[in-house]
Amino acid sequence: MTAAVLFQWMLASLPEIIVITGACILLILGQLVRREQLLFWASVAVVLIAALATFLLAGEVRPAYSGMFVADRFAVFFKFVFYLATVLTFLLSRKYADIEGIGSSEYYVMLLFALSGMMIMASATDLLSIYVGLELMVLCTYVLTGFLRHERRSNEAALKYVILGAVSTGIFLYGVSLVYGLTGTTQLDAMAAAVSGDPLDPGLLLAVVFIVAGLVFKVGAVPFHMWVPDVYEGAPTTVTAFMSVGPKAAGFAVILRVFLNPLVAASDVWIIVAVIAVVTAALGSFVALVQDNFKRLLAYSSIAHAGFATFGVVAGGVDGVASVMLYLLIYAFMNLGIFGAVIMMRSGDFSGEVIEDYAGFAKAHPGLALLMLIYLFSLAGIPPTAGFFAKFYVLTALVERGFVFLAVVAVLLSAVAAYFYIRIVMVIYMREPERAFEPALTPFVRATLACTAAGTIGIGLFPEWFLRLAQHSAFGG
Amino acid sequence: MTFPLLSLIVFLPAAGAAVLMCLRNDDAVRWTALGFTVADLALAVAMLAAFDTTTHEMQFTERHPWVPAIGITYALGVDGISALFVFLTALLGWICVLASWVAIDRKVKEFMVALLSMQTLMLGVFSALDLFLFYVCWEAMLIPMYLIIGVWGGDGRVYAAFKFFLYTLAGSLLFLIGVIVLYFHGGRTFDILALSAQDLPFDVQAWLFFAFLIAFAVKVPMVPVHTWLPDAHVQAPTAGSIILAGVLLKMGAYGFLRFSLPMLPEASVYYSTLMLALSALAIVYGGLLALAQDDLKKLVAYSSISHMGFVTMGIFALNLRGLEGGILQMFNHGVTTGALFLFVGVIYERTHTRSIANYGGLMKVAPVYTGFLALFTLSSMALPGTNSFVGELLVLSGSFAANMAVGTAAVLGALLSAAYLLGMYRKVALGPASVGTRYQIRDVNGREIAAIVPLAVFVLWVGLYPKPFLNVIDASVKHLLTEVQGQESGQ
């Protein structure tokens, strides 16, 4: 290996290097300086510098580390979703962290490390580098989940998450070892060659099932969804917001890479994905109907959305991949928006976690209520919001591939899901207020809400640019 | 580039809504809303005046790329059929503002914003030439309407709003799948005119016909998916009821005219008997239900189901008289039933009861009110000289030509409507003046007369001289008919 090659490799992974180095420096800095303001701005700066680097390097495809890693348009797209999620989480955290007393430097450092893990996942082209990224990400989220040290709920959630997460990682690794044993490689491209040759080896099929199980856990799809509501409820709300968007998108990035490259030939596996999509969307939608806790409801809603995005995976092809990518981008905007609204309600001794807490919210704060209305209708997929376009494009991809029946199922389930979103709108608009509201509205929270609202409405009205970007970034496009 | 008249008509109310957001004073809000809706009506009249009735071609068309990546355009245009409904929507728009003038006394600004956004979306539906644009407007209407019913409605408003939302959403989502299937079968375009020119295989048409039918039948509403309508009507504020009856119900029928007939002609012909039977069922069943009501609003709501049955019957008679009658009847129903809901609202504001049993002898205390009410009641039961007579006669003659049995059922429905409407009028207006002793009732004031008179003018105008109205739709209906029959003979 020459210095020039090494330089090229480092250049390809420059954004990851920036984030990891920045996180390490911040970790040390946090022990020396006690000024939170500084740490906060420094963490935001790290992400922005990484984003700039990603943008500057986005021009060409850069494979690196002997086929373990690639910086291509697909990865760049996902990295920007991650940056968006992380920066908005930082902005939302500032005040919330003060209220909860979790605003230490580790909090930001953990988020940065999780970000680097997700970035590695998006770029990984080898089962081992996928594993490294995955573990880096989930280890940080384990810790973040338990960040409310004095709350039992938070501790319990973290414990549950660690144990179940470890099991799923074990399953995933077992699948990886089987693949290595059978094909002699862990690289996705080489696997593709092995798979597309003969009819699928039953051992390989088993390996695929294990890998699927490991990945499905990370996006919270059925049957590995059980941890989601508890963890979402127990974690600090800002962390929940982050987890529902960032790691989920990272999980889908890997699923798309694994499935639509090497395993596209293994059509036997396809039916598994279709079944997962249907069952996930159904379970998420139906169970959400009976939730009273807002965070639990959003947890089930995120399961339902994972199911819907999986429909895009089932569709496959350029449009299928692009539809999943666009879906995740739009989901990042609308979900961070609605979580921003929940986080804003946390002020004083009031948690704002129960749906009933929002009764008559529209009377006290018509502007904020309107924002929530926009996010909720977007999550429900009603035009002219972005959520509608996201669903529309997934359905288009499904019908294009001839899965009309699946499209009908998806659409009916989204009608079920609409029920619980408009139920919240009902509580906000059609009930009398029971208490005075004093939302913790800092300029940062305002900025987040403005940004997410702009995304939710803007992509809904003018989807062209984002659609082209997703199609352009999807591999094969 | 030509003057974007249609875009202006469609987006003027939305611009008004944006202006309203900046206002603080309730009266300023009301007057501004009125100003924008009147201006919109003026533009709609200008459009009708410039409308060329000799051609079926789309007029005032505008086309701009919107999402070219998947072939979505921002395309507007009107033919005779849509022009009539653009006008009807604009006509009812300012009447809705007047009807809510004092009835809405809290969150006036929010209400008017919802009302005006609603108007933009309805106008968008009637003038869209792109399926995607059509669907966006069609579906987005759920948001303001849900709020109008749910926030400003009666005691059972939340339930009614939910029911309305979920019924229409579930219906429209299958329509969405239909739209996407059509997109792929029709050469990857959402252009309504291009899709109408396609010749799809019959089995595809049949599937699409039912996907569309569910969405449109819920909106019309046809029996048996009509149950959301009485709830929504009864709970909605007056303006909401006027919009629902006047415009929203027309969208289902408009969908049949704009999509089902031209795009799926063979399936439309094949299933026309089924549609005629469903229409006859709606006419008779709706009439019977109306006969049994004590609540004024419910009575008018069920009568709407019956009257919309005439509309769908006329459409699926698939002959010239039936179609022209059906379309004219859509317009008439908008005017007449809109007015009836306005009347119910006027009296409800004074007495806070809608139970017919509580009224009686209204004529003595409110002569002007009952005089106008008589006109609209007679119009609703299609007395000669009023608008509905012309429409109903055309529908009946068209449906007898298509199918003797359903024509007979329709006549029975017309008889029923005379029974419940005359009964209603007798109980409310005639007899001893019991109502005057129980409630302090003032006759209609200037603002209410301003809202009622234009509708009364249309009742008589269409009733006595329907030619200009039929002229507007004539060329488009004839073209539609050739599209259906041309395809039919071509198989």
Secondary structure (H, E, C), A191-240: HHHHHHCCCCCHHHHHHHHHHHHHHHHHHCCCCCCCHHHHHHHHCCHHHH
Nearest to B180 among A373, A382, A396 (CB): A396
Contact B140 A419 (CB under 8 A): no
In whole angstroms, give the CA distance from residue B359 to residue B439. Answer: 10
Between these two residues, B468 and A49, which has the higher pLDDT value?
A49
> Binning pLDDT at 50, 70 and 90, where does residue A263 land?
low
Contact A418 B140 (CB under 8 A): no
Query: Which secondary structure element, helix H or strand E, spans residue A328, and what is its range?
Result: helix A317-345
A338-373 burial: b if 16+ Cβ within 10 Å, else e: bbbbbbbbbbeeeebbbbebbbbbbbebeebbbbbb
The two tokens of residue B454 are 């234009």
Query: Which secondary structure element, helix H or strand E, spans residue A63, and what is its range?
Result: strand A62-64
Strand partners for B72: B67
Is the Cβ–Cβ distance between A321 and A327 less than 8 Å?
A: no
Tell me the mean pLDDT in the region A453-462.
93
Q: Which pLDDT value is given to residue B16?
A: 92
Is the Cβ–Cβ distance between A375 and A338 less than 8 Å?
A: yes
Q: Cβ of A364 under 8 Å from any chain B Cβ?
A: no
Q: Is the pLDDT of residue B433 over 80?
A: no
Tell me the mean pLDDT in the region A90-94.
90
Q: Is the pLDDT of residue B308 over 70?
A: yes
- The number of beta carbons lying within 10 Å of the beta carbon of residue B14 is 19
The two tokens of residue B82 are 């849509």
Q: Which of B239, B348, B233 is nearest to B298 (CA)?
A: B233
Q: Which pLDDT value is given to residue A53?
A: 94
- The number of beta carbons lying within 10 Å of the beta carbon of residue B475 is 18
Mean of the per-residue pLDDT values of chain B:
88
Q: Is the pLDDT of residue B489 over 50?
A: no
DSSP string, B420-475: HHHHHHHHHHSSS-HHHHHS------HHHHHHHHHHHHHHHHHHH--HHHHHHHHH
Query: What are the phi and psi torsion angles at A63 (to 5°)?
Result: -75, 150
Is the Cβ–Cβ distance between B147 and B117 less than 8 Å?
A: no
Query: Which secondary structure element, helix H or strand E, spans residue A70, and what is its range?
Result: strand A69-71
In whole angstroms, give the CA distance from residue A51 to residue A84. Answer: 9
Q: Cβ of B169 under 8 Å from any chain A Cβ?
A: yes
Amino acid letter, A231: V
Q: Is the pLDDT of residue B47 over 60?
A: yes
Between these two residues, A71 and A262, which has the higher pLDDT value?
A71
Q: Which pLDDT value is given to residue A224?
A: 83
Strand partners for B191: B130
Query: What are the phi and psi torsion angles at B63 (to 5°)?
Result: -140, 125
Please state which of the ranges A80-94, A120-134, A267-281 shows the lowest mean pLDDT. Answer: A267-281
Distance from CA of A345 to the nearest CA of B (A): 23
In whole angstroms, give the CA distance from residue B248 to residue B338. Answer: 11
Q: Which pLDDT value is given to residue B488?
A: 47
Q: Which pLDDT value is given to residue B490?
A: 40
B65-75 pLDDT per residue, tens? 999 888 899 99
B138-178 pLDDT per residue, tens? 999 989 999 999 888 888 888 989 888 888 888 888 899 99
Tell me the mean pLDDT in the region A202-220.
83
Which residues on chain A are in Cβ contact (under 8 Å) with B157? 430
First-to-final CA distance of chain B: 41
Q: Which pLDDT value is given to residue A477?
A: 45
Q: Cβ of B164 under 8 Å from any chain A Cβ?
A: no
Strand partners for A350: A347
Residue A388: closest C-alpha in chain B: B136
What number of helices (H) and strands (E) belong to chain A? 20, 2
Is the Cβ–Cβ distance between B113 and B21 less than 8 Å?
A: yes
Query: Which secondary structure element, helix H or strand E, spans residue A62, and what is its range?
Result: strand A62-64
Query: What are the phi and psi torsion angles at A257 (to 5°)?
Result: -65, -45
B225 SS3 class = coil
Which residues on chain B are in Cβ contact (under 8 Å) with A423? 162
Nearest to B165 among A407, A422, A429 (CB): A422
Tell me the mean pLDDT in the region B310-322.
91
Q: Cβ of A366 under 8 Å from any chain B Cβ?
A: yes
Tell me the mean pLDDT in the region A348-374.
85
Q: Is the pLDDT of residue A233 over 70?
A: yes
B84-107 pLDDT per residue, tens? 999 999 999 999 998 888 888 888
In whole angstroms, give the CA distance from residue A409 to residue B61. Answer: 37
Is the Cβ–Cβ distance between B381 and B338 less than 8 Å?
A: no
Nearest to A467 among B67, B146, B169 (CB): B67
- The most confident of the ranges A75-89, A147-161, A303-317 is A75-89
In whole angstroms, give the CA distance from residue B194 to residue B190. Answer: 8
Is the Cβ–Cβ distance between A282 and A242 less than 8 Å?
A: no
Nearest to B139 among A383, A412, A468 (CB): A383
Q: Cβ of B161 under 8 Å from any chain A Cβ?
A: yes
Strand partners for A69: A64, A124
Q: Which of residues 43-72 of B touch A (CB under 8 A)?
A: 65-70
B364-407 pLDDT per residue, tens? 888 888 889 999 999 998 888 899 999 999 999 999 988 888 88
* Beta pairing, strands A69-71 & B72-78: unpaired
Which residues on chain B are in Cβ contact (under 8 Å) with A312? none
Q: Which pLDDT value is given to residue A387?
A: 93
* Phi/psi-derived region of residue B21, left when phi > 0, alpha when psi is between -120 and 50, beta in every other case: alpha
In whole angstroms, give the CA distance from residue A322 to residue B435. Answer: 66
Q: Cβ of B21 under 8 Å from any chain A Cβ?
A: no
Contact A411 B176 (CB under 8 A): yes
The two tokens of residue B382 are 């299609």
Distance from CA of B246 to the nearest CA of A (A): 23
Amino acid letter, A146: G
Q: Is the pLDDT of residue A195 over 60?
A: yes
Q: What percent of chain B shows pLDDT beyond 90?
A: 38
Q: Which of B72, B73, B69, B49 is nearest to B59 (CA)?
A: B49
- Listed in sequence order, the residues at least 6 apart from B53 whose beta carbon sits closer than 8 Å to its beta carbon are B80, B471, B472, B474, B475
Q: Is the pLDDT of residue A221 over 60?
A: yes
Q: Is the pLDDT of residue B491 over 50?
A: no
Q: Which pLDDT value is given to residue A261?
A: 66
Contact B140 A384 (CB under 8 A): yes
Q: Is the pLDDT of residue A262 over 60?
A: no
Burial of B358 (0-12, 13-18, 19+ CB in 10 A): middle
- The number of beta carbons lying within 10 Å of the beta carbon of residue B7 is 17
Contact A396 B67 (CB under 8 A): no
In whole angstroms, give the CA distance from residue A110 to residue A123. Answer: 20
In whole angstroms, give the CA distance from residue B434 to residue B163. Answer: 37
Task: Compute the count of residue pairs across chains A and B with CB atoms less than 8 Å apart.
Answer: 82
In whole angstroms, give the CA distance from residue B173 to residue A460. Answer: 17
Q: Where are the beta strands (DSSP E) in B17-147?
A: 59-67, 72-78
Q: What percent of chain A shows pLDDT beyond 70?
A: 95
In whole angstroms, give the CA distance from residue B263 to residue B484. Answer: 9
Torsion of CA A437, A440, A445, A447, to 10 degrees: 70
CA angle A177, A179, A180 (to 5 degrees): 65
Q: Cβ of B194 under 8 Å from any chain A Cβ?
A: no
Residue B72: closest C-alpha in chain A: A464
Distance from CA of B274 to the nearest CA of A (A): 24
Q: Cβ of A464 under 8 Å from any chain B Cβ?
A: yes
Distance from CA of B177 to the nearest CA of A (A): 7
> Binning pLDDT at 50, 70 and 90, where does residue A389 land?
very high
Q: Which pLDDT value is given to residue A24?
A: 94
pTM comes to: 0.93
In chain A, domain spans: 269-476
The greatest distance separating any two alpha carbons of chain B, rounded to the nearest whole angstrom, comes to: 69
Q: Is the pLDDT of residue A297 over 60?
A: yes
Contact A377 B177 (CB under 8 A): no
Q: Cβ of B158 under 8 Å from any chain A Cβ?
A: yes
B78 SS3 class = strand
Is the Cβ–Cβ distance between B152 and B112 less than 8 Å?
A: no
Which residues on chain B are in Cβ contact (under 8 Å) with A323? none
In whole angstroms, give the CA distance from residue B103 to residue B122. Answer: 23
Tell me the mean pLDDT in the region B233-257.
89
Q: Which pLDDT value is given to residue B179?
A: 92
The greatest distance separating any two alpha carbons of chain A, rounded to the nearest whole angstrom, comes to: 71
The full length of chain A comes to: 477
> Binning pLDDT at 50, 70 and 90, where does residue A346 land?
confident
> Binning pLDDT at 50, 70 and 90, where does residue A436 land?
confident
> Binning pLDDT at 50, 70 and 90, where does residue A442 land?
confident
Q: How far are the Cα atoms of A30, A149, A244 from residue A103, in angstroms, in the given order? A: 11, 12, 21
B358 SS3 class = helix
In whole angstroms, give the CA distance from residue A289 to residue B320. Answer: 49
Distance from CA of B322 to the nearest CA of A (A): 34
Strand partners for B63: B75
Which residues on chain B are in Cβ contact (under 8 Å) with A396? 70, 180, 183
> Binning pLDDT at 50, 70 and 90, where does residue A76 land?
very high
Distance from CA of B245 to the nearest CA of A (A): 23
* Beta pairing, strands B59-67 & A62-64: unpaired
Q: Which pLDDT value is given to residue B156?
A: 85
Q: Cβ of A419 under 8 Å from any chain B Cβ?
A: yes
Query: What are the phi and psi torsion angles at A98 (to 5°)?
Result: -65, -45
ipTM: 0.91
First-to-final CA distance of chain A: 32
